[in-house]
Structure 1
Amino acid sequence: MTFNELIKLCKPLDVSGPEPEKLGPLTQDSREVGEDSVFIAVKGFEVDGHMFIENAISKGASVVICEDSYYSDEDVCIIEVADTRSLVGPLAQAFEGYPARELKIIGITGTNGKTTVATLTWQLLMEMGGARPSLLGTVAKRIDDKVLDSLLTTADPIELARDMRSMVDANSTHLVMEVSSHAIDQKRTAGFDFSVGAFTNLSHDHLDYHESWQEYAKTKKKLFDGLNEDAWAVINQDDEQGKFMALDCPAQIIDFSFKKPITYDCKVISNSSEGLKLEIEGVEFESPLVGTFNAYNVAEAIFICKALGYEFTTIARALANAKGAAGRLERVESEHPEKQPTVLVDYAHTPDALENVLSTLSDLKTEKQKLHVIFGCGGDRDKTKRPKMAEVAEKFADIITVTSDNPRSEDPEEIIDQIVLGFNADTEVSRISVRKEAIEHAIAQADEHTMILIAGKGHETYQEIKGKRHDFDDRKVALEALKKRNHNSKTGEVA
């Protein structure tokens, strides 16, 4: 990257100060600034990067890119632009040598199912051959044979560009990524094009950020409005927002439905605890995933691969080995499962997602089984969904325990107070605010005819309390509780 190339990309309103002798790495975090760094000040949702310009200069930044006349310095090049947020993505790609141009990028958006669809798509591409896919999402980053922790559903543009460079250097040909509404609104995906955009569904979530349902939907639609004519859009038309997402979309569209005749109509042939069997265009697809909501996730992944040029018969052969994402209806099994309750962990943290999972388990349980749900709600997030979660739990579960999720800065007891407002007065509910105790108590009291769903955190390996992340994994806590229960049953001890 030369200084002239930088100026050309920035299209500045004004440039002051000396031309730098050297351009170091691009960063929007002043804590990462080093000698000759290019610091771009971005107005964030909570923090304005312009507040840290002096700090960046003191640490050695050779160029500062900012908005308006925030700063001037005789010793540092100051580039003033109209909108730094729109610029950071294209700049990040340029600094890394435009790695996105060497990848087919598949972006998956929606409220629920993003992680499952992305993981299934990645697994299918791995299984079918002809591609070397990487994966970016909520659970993990997968670059070649490396698995890295993922802190955000969609990373910031600079991290994205660096990840893409690592993928290209590892000979990846495809990138499958989840795209959150926050990322779209904050233009984290600016600077590169998607080969395929996929829409799963839209339900109650993130209204603390978007303020209204309409704004939430409009934000999701921006992904499809931004596709080019050579790209594909895969749209679930059984969701009421499907038509809106497809409206005026310039890409080639694959519509699918399980309820009505459309471009591709899908059928569920069977849905049991053993998995799903679907039929599309006369081809049968078998998946180990269960539940109607997963039928949509499986179909979405199938059609993404179809858009990429794979035949249905090839996809069908690969699907049996695609297991989906960790922490999505993941069963926790001890070494001695006899006379133990069935324990499942799922990421469901919205009313719609919880209903999908609970309704599935309610249909699959035997006559003797009782369904026990353990759930909470995250702090510092949309409070209006809290009583709605209670209504869903009450509708499907036989036994209910309300606990904490990631309380963040809020008091866990106050969050639970707001959840329980959604229950009928005569509904029996246990409230145990310490999540570990809630899980242990439920498993200790259960018998072999109990199915326990631990909802809300899924794959997460931490619990966020008062600004700190503490090691916590629902699956590990549940497994230890099952082991203890099994030990107590053999020794005759009472848990």
Structure 2
Amino acid sequence: MPQLSLHTIRTLSKADRETGRLLPFYNGVSVNSQKVVPEGIFAAIAGYSTDGHRFLPQAAEAGARLMLTERDPEEVLAEIGRDDIGVMQVPDIRAAVAQLAFAYAGNPQYRLKIAGITGTNGKTTVSTLVHQALTKLGYKAGLMGTISVAIGSESTESRLTTGDPEQMAEAMAAMADAGCTHLVMEVSSHALDQKRTDAINFDVAAFTNLSHDHLDYHKTESAYLQAKKRLFDGLSTDAIAIVNADDASAAEMVRDTQAAVWKISMAEGGLRVLRNDARGIEFEMDNTRIASPLSGHFNVYNLAMAWLMLRAFGCTAQNAASALQSCSGARGRLERVPQPVPEQAQGSGPTREAITLHPLPEVFVDYAHTPDALRNVLETLRKMAAQRQLTVVFGCGGDRDKTKRPVMGHIASGIADVVIVTSDNPRSEDPDQIMRDILAGVSGGSAETHTETDRRAAIAQAISQAQPDGLVLIAGKGHETYQEIRGIRYPMDDVALAAAALQKRAETARATSSQEQPASRKEA
């Protein structure tokens, strides 16, 4: 079993003062008092919503024998009231935890080529595309992000965009042990601000875009930008930074980086779109044509970034383009819900002819939960819809940035023909109040607006009432298979709900068609 020596702990944490009973070796580090191990280290972090110092007695009871703190170690030891505990004061406890967690895991980050992607929107799509492409090119790669943590083709569900240092170090060790050579990971602004990734030396870092989000945490757009910027400030001279130069924050993002900077830009002429419609995308960059089944202006940037990241990993231009051509991207990102498969005519069953006579609306599910993302997806579907009816179902998450709610209501009502405001993940908030916050921005829009607190009912309503040739967007939750209400995650899958609503509409149409057929035709 690996251990951390007292010398290593002192060195990596840059300890200032210490007191109490100190052991020569310790068994790992944790910021969760429920996860400490016997003779382990507990880091008492004064966090965003709770103070780890409150749990010092529980950590000691669970077996922690060294406490890390930024406070006076003598006072902390007195609070614990035990003589078998050591306390160490460190100047930056979050940075110390990152270094110690990775050291305890054997520093697996040095056994992988690592790419990190940050930005408000597009992180999941880009990371998934790169992971899928690397796999197609024969590499065994890891993936860490909003949807899952994957080792090669095996994946487990993820609960955070970027995990805590212990989780990341453990996952990277498993990846390296399994033979992975590359890792693609999403890097959130929270993780960067909390220094969770400080022990990672990124070979490649990418910036997608920056827009309104997470102001409940960062308070200002400037602080949000500076958090993202930390990814690039920490790059070495051997690393490569890739930025969407058409975003207003791109120049500031890489202003202080030591890495080589690669840019993506339509405005500067380096990226030329050849086709962007419902059938997919084709564009040219650096004399290479790249095609994809994905749609949308925003996906041109996502694909271009994925292609450059593959190039930064050492893939040839053509191999990277060929691999991306068959990549599907991430679940819940402009995902088309399959239409019901008509049964062949037999007995009294439905017929293919009945399906043809009663077309169904096209339904898409997307994770868009920020103003910019919602606008991008709606504008993409608006172009696809042309003169057809466009319906959007969406809500906003509770205990998150409240200022974006009316903004998203304004965007939805300005682009869609029908808006159904519903519940997202209300968490501890009243879902009806969240909906009222959204509706405050809808006034003045041209859309027909409805409210329905029950998300299941809202999805069913949208699909049952949409015009036969219309488009329906269900936004906000994407890949998620739950709805979080007051700390409990209840099963809920937008794709499954939409598929069931389409099936019900198809069955109703077939039944109606059967009843309306002339008797002679039925007998024939």
Q: Counterpart in 2 of 1:269?
A: 274
Q: Counterpart in 1 of 2:16?
A: 13
Task: Provide the secondary structure at the position in 2 that maps to 1:122.
Answer: helix
Q: Counterpart in 2 of 1:118?
A: 127
**Aligned mates of 1:22, 1:258 — CA distance in 2:** 55
Corresponding residue to 1:256 among 254, 258, 264:
264
Corresponding residue to 1:52 among 31, 52, 55:
55
Q: Does 1:75 align with 2:94?
A: no
Q: What does 1:288-303 align with in structure 2 at a 5 Å threshold?
A: 288-303=293-308
1:236-295 deviation digits (Å, cap 9, x = unpaired): 10001111112121101101201114xxx0110001111000101221111111011000
Q: Which amino acid aligns with 1:232?
A: I
Shift of 1:33: 2.2
Q: Counterpart in 1 of 2:402?
A: 383
Q: Does 1:37 align with 2:46?
A: no
Q: Does 1:173 align with 2:181?
A: yes
1:154-180 deviation digits (Å, cap 9, x = unpaired): 001111111111111111111100011
Runs (5+) with no aligned partner, structure 2: 343-354, 516-524
**Aligned mates of 1:121, 1:168 — CA distance in 2:** 18
1:280-320 deviation digits (Å, cap 9, x = unpaired): 12211111110110000000001111112222111111111
Q: What does 1:405-444 align with in structure 2 at a 5 Å threshold?
A: 405-425=424-444, 427=446, 428-444=448-464
1:202-260 deviation digits (Å, cap 9, x = unpaired): 01111111111111111111111111100000011000111111212110110120111
- Using the TM superposition, name which of 378-387 and 148-157 deviates more: 378-387
**Aligned mates of 2:102, 2:399 — CA distance in 1:** 33
Shift of 1:139: 0.8
1:42-95 deviation digits (Å, cap 9, x = unpaired): 221111111111111112112222222242242112222222111000000110
- Using the TM superposition, name which of 483-492 and 449-458 deviates more: 483-492
Q: Which amino acid aligns with 1:318?
A: A
Q: What does 1:80-479 align with in structure 2 at a 5 Å threshold?
A: 80-129=89-138, 131-261=139-269, 265-333=270-338, 334-336=340-342, 338=356, 339-367=359-387, 369-425=388-444, 427=446, 428-479=448-499
Q: Percent identity?
A: 44
Shift of 1:366: 4.5
Shift of 1:491: 2.2
- Using the TM superposition, name which of 343-352 and 50-59 deviates more: 50-59
Q: Which amino acid aligns with 2:103?
A: A
Shift of 1:461: 0.7
- Using the TM superposition, name which of 104-113 and 439-448 deviates more: 439-448
Shift of 1:22: 5.1
Q: Is the contact between residue 209 and residue 249 of structure 2 (CA under 8 Å) also seen in structure 1?
A: yes
Task: Provide the secondary structure at the position in 2 that maps to 1:492.
Answer: helix
Q: Counterpart in 1 of 2:522?
A: none
**Aligned residues between the structures:** 489
**Aligned mates of 1:326, 1:240 — CA distance in 2:** 28
Shift of 1:25: 2.8
Shift of 1:141: 0.8
Q: Which amino acid aligns with 2:193?
A: D
**Aligned mates of 1:145, 1:383 — CA distance in 2:** 38
Shift of 1:21: 6.3
Q: Is the contact between residue 264 and residue 301 of structure 2 (CA under 8 Å) also seen in structure 1?
A: no
Shift of 1:467: 2.0
**Aligned mates of 1:124, 1:169 — CA distance in 2:** 21
Q: Is the contact between residue 413 and residue 445 of structure 2 (CA under 8 Å) also seen in structure 1?
A: no
Q: Is the contact between residue 148 and residue 155 of structure 2 (CA under 8 Å) also seen in structure 1?
A: yes
Q: Is the contact between residue 13 and residue 99 of structure 2 (CA under 8 Å) also seen in structure 1?
A: no
Shift of 1:439: 0.3
**Aligned mates of 1:121, 1:323 — CA distance in 2:** 11
Shift of 1:412: 1.1
Runs (5+) with no aligned partner, structure 1: none
1:87-125 deviation digits (Å, cap 9, x = unpaired): 000000110010001111100000000000000111111
Q: Which amino acid aligns with 1:372?
A: T
Task: Provide the secondary structure at the position in 2 that maps to 1:414.
Answer: helix
Q: Is the contact between residue 368 and residue 475 of structure 2 (CA under 8 Å) also seen in structure 1?
A: yes
Q: Is the contact between residue 68 and residue 82 of structure 1 (CA under 8 Å) also seen in structure 2?
A: no
- Using the TM superposition, name which of 23-32 and 271-280 deviates more: 23-32
Q: Is the contact between residue 22 and residue 62 of structure 1 (CA under 8 Å) also seen in structure 2?
A: no
Task: Provide the secondary structure at the position in 2 that maps to 1:379.
Answer: coil
Q: Is the contact between residue 43 and residue 85 of structure 1 (CA under 8 Å) also seen in structure 2?
A: no
Task: Provide the secondary structure at the position in 1 that maps to 2:64.
Answer: coil
Q: Does 1:65 align with 2:68?
A: yes
- Using the TM superposition, name which of 64-73 and 355-364 deviates more: 64-73
- Using the TM superposition, name which of 282-291 and 69-78 deviates more: 69-78
Q: Is the contact between residue 275 and residue 281 of structure 2 (CA under 8 Å) also seen in structure 1?
A: yes
Q: Is the contact between residue 119 and residue 207 of structure 2 (CA under 8 Å) also seen in structure 1?
A: yes
Q: Is the contact between residue 68 and residue 90 of structure 2 (CA under 8 Å) also seen in structure 1?
A: yes
- Using the TM superposition, name which of 184-193 and 68-77 deviates more: 68-77
Aligned-pair Cα RMSD in Å: 1.6
TM-score (norm 2): 0.91
**Aligned mates of 2:216, 2:86 — CA distance in 1:** 38
